[in-house]
Amino acid sequence: MPVEDMISSDSHIIEPPDLWVERVDSPFRERAPRVQREENGDWWYIDGKRSMSFLGIQTGDRFSKDATELVIEARFEDVRTAAYDPRRYVEENLSDGVVGQVLYPSEALLAFSIADSELCSACMRAYNDFIAEFCSDAPDRLKGIALINLDDPDAAVREMERCRKLGLAGALITVLPPPDATYDRPLYEGVWSAAVDLDMPLSMHVATGRAALSVDTGQETIQRVSEAAFYLQDHFVRKSIGEMIFSGVFERHPRLRVGSVEHEVSWIPFFLFQMDYCYTDRPVRGEWHRFSDPDIRPSDFFRRNCFVSFQEDAAGIRERAVVGVENLMWGSDYPHTESTFPRSREITSKILADVSQSEQDQILRDNAAALYGFDLRTLHR
């Protein structure tokens, strides 16, 4: 299969306005995400708080317009049909050389910011049902990621089991858990075990903070949730992955896979250096976990257990050997404004110009295929 037949490890759908109104459990319907028509666009509201307008109306426009011409609000009828119609979705991405996609939400990313845990979980269940149906139209090419609220780890495991039966290929967890429930704590052991048993990679995506970025009653808008996530994007994922590594999560669960999505790559080499330096050259504090193998380093667990989805990071690709080529996966971010569509072939060829053919195959297709269960024999266009 030619290298132009790519798999995007990070693509998105645009949720239809009635998704939660139609699907969420009835006790939560009045507080579920809904769309309100305003003067210049349609806006999502979550539990009464203004969120985002509709993405997916200017996919590819960044290549033909000045940034000052791009917009942040629009009406749903202006969204490209392919962003919410699975058949059109597949057709449009095939035209861009993308034969398979791992699907994340758009508005539903911000469901993680809903402070009320029961409402948060109800919104996630409704989305999970929707994305499973969406992917069922082309299961060979579309692999959906379930949204999982970890506030109640036992309930989270049950939802992971349900979503795996629905055909979803992985689970999205918060990139920023509450300060009293960080990922170095024993309460998540059942979640890590379930992820391994269910063969569900866990990912942490930009804009999924559950702690400091949560909606509260004194906050008029949650628009800043997304903005803050992008300003501090790699800080949160570094904290969470670091806590998992240093607390021995990957030592206890050697087949667990956890990924960084849309945080790019360039921060990782220094992060790995700093973890190793801290482990080997700084004094041990308190009951700091020491690995059973005296020769293993924190960076070894990152390269063994973690994966990285990036979009346009030529600098990070130059340091790919430090990160591990087998852990790198490209994503188009379709259909968002910053997406590489419809120039994904052109952009990836520039980023990977000095990369060998075999490594290009891994980064653009094979790593994602192996992680999420794409059958390459069925993906010919």
Total domain count, the chain:
1
* 370 sits in which H/E element: helix 367-372
Q: How far is CA 284 from CA 96, 123, 190, 278, 287, in A?
A: 51, 43, 28, 9, 8
pLDDT in tens, 333-376: 999 999 999 999 999 999 999 999 999 999 999 999 999 999 99
Q: For the whole model, what pTM was predicted?
A: 0.94
Percent of the chain with pLDDT over 90: 86
| Radius of gyration over every alpha carbon of the chain, rounded to an integer in angstroms | 20
Q: pLDDT-derived band of residue 220, with 50, 70 and 90 as boundaries?
A: low
Asked if residue 333 belongs to a domain, the reply is: yes
Asked if residue 364 belongs to a domain, the reply is: yes
Enter the tokens of residue 304: 């063994």
Asked if residue 78 belongs to a domain, the reply is: no
Phi, psi of 273 (to 5 degrees): -60, -45
Asked if residue 167 belongs to a domain, the reply is: yes
Asked if residue 80 belongs to a domain, the reply is: no
Q: Is the pLDDT of residue 303 over 50?
A: yes
Q: What does the alpha-carbon distance between residue 81 and residue 313 come to, in Å, rounded to a whole number?
A: 29
Q: Is the pLDDT of residue 4 over 70?
A: no
- Give 3-state DSSP helix, strand, coil % of the chain, rounded to 5: 45, 15, 40
Q: Is the pLDDT of residue 219 over 60?
A: no
Asked if residue 65 belongs to a domain, the reply is: no
Q: What is the pLDDT of residue 233?
A: 63
Q: What does the alpha-carbon distance between residue 312 and residue 336 come to, in Å, rounded to a whole number?
A: 14
Q: Is the pLDDT of residue 227 over 90?
A: no
Residue 164: CATH number of its domain: 3.20.20.140
Q: What is the pLDDT of residue 49?
A: 87
CA quadruple 221, 227, 228, 229: dihedral sign:
positive
Asked if residue 328 belongs to a domain, the reply is: yes
Parent domain of 199: 6-13+85-374
**Three-state secondary-structure class, residue 232:** coil
